[in-house]
Chain A
């Protein structure tokens, strides 16, 4: 799995701010469910459920895969989320280091960590 866009806390909090999305996430943790199956659980259209699932997916809380004509939704396991966070943290570390390298190259006397 390749992830080029880091989820940020805003996306996660936004995704979890809605009761339906929290419920979808709880259900998707237990079993893989189709979007149409989810739509039967809630008083809303398939399109509306799809929008909720898309918000959860953008926050990297669930993944979606195609199975025949169905779209199946499953929660991202905690361990995977932890590994993803660790990679994000490593990315921040290197972005910081590269910024300091640049400051040091531009200002050999004052740039970087003193």
Chain B
């Protein structure tokens, strides 16, 4: 896997990350479509995710929680906006309360995933994250930091090296 481009647009409050995988589009799509695979990459190493509801059909709510090192749980949800398997997925990703219900006071992130076959094999992936405002962007990051996500970043390499 190679990250081919990172494009940060502060005015539009979007982040676009592009990457290339050696595996075919159908295989990469499974990382999103199969909840058991999804939960092995969605959460940081110290905060593994568990998807308790997962259906990639328009309008469906997917629900997940991430469990921290001390057993604390952070709940989240996706609402599926657009699906064109295996090349396009758009969801709204948000924070939830301890009961798993969406927290309307918290910002949500639009997430668009586009997969395209590469000439000669493999898959190009583009992931666009969109926040409604710079304020939402900052609040989302602060929330993520509270949940230890940022701390967990540095531990990635150690886990991958195992």
B125 CB to nearest chain A CB (Å): 8
A92 interface residue (CB < 8 Å to B): yes
Give every chain A residue within 8 A of B41 (Cβ-Cβ): 97, 100-101, 104, 112-113
**Most chain A CB atoms below 10 A, which of B23, B27, B42, B160:** B160
Task: Determine whether the beta carbon of A98 is less than 8 Å from that of B3.
Answer: yes
A72-114 interface bits toward B, Cβ cutoff 8 Å, 1 = contact, 0 = none = 0000000110111111111111111111111111000011111
Chain B contact residues: over half helix, strand or loop, or mixed? mixed
Q: Are B40 and A100 in contact (CB under 8 A)?
A: yes
Considering the complex, which residues of chain B in the window 1-42 have a beta carbon less than 8 Å from any beta carbon of chain A?
A: 1, 3, 6-11, 13, 15, 17, 19, 21-23, 27-28, 31, 37, 39-42
Q: Does B127 contact A (CB under 8 A)?
A: yes
With contacts A4-B6, A86-B140, A112-B41 taken as known, whether A96 is within 8 angstroms of B156 at the C-beta atoms is yes
**Given the complex, which residues of B lie within 8 Å of A80, measured CB to CB?**
10, 134
Residues of chain B at interface, number, CB under 8 A: 47
Chain A facing B: main interface SS:
helix
A60 to B37, CA, bound (A): 38
With A83-B10, A98-B19, A105-B28 in contact, is A89–B144 under 8 Å at CB?
yes
Q: List 26 A-B contacts (CB under 8 A).
A: A2-B11, A3-B8, A3-B10, A80-B10, A80-B134, A83-B134, A83-B137, A85-B138, A89-B150, A90-B129, A90-B140, A94-B17, A94-B129, A96-B152, A98-B17, A98-B19, A98-B125, A101-B1, A101-B21, A104-B37, A104-B40, A105-B23, A111-B160, A112-B40, A113-B39, A114-B48
Q: Shortest 7 CB-CB distances between A and B: which pairs?
A: A102-B1, A112-B40, A86-B141, A100-B41, A83-B134, A86-B137, A94-B17
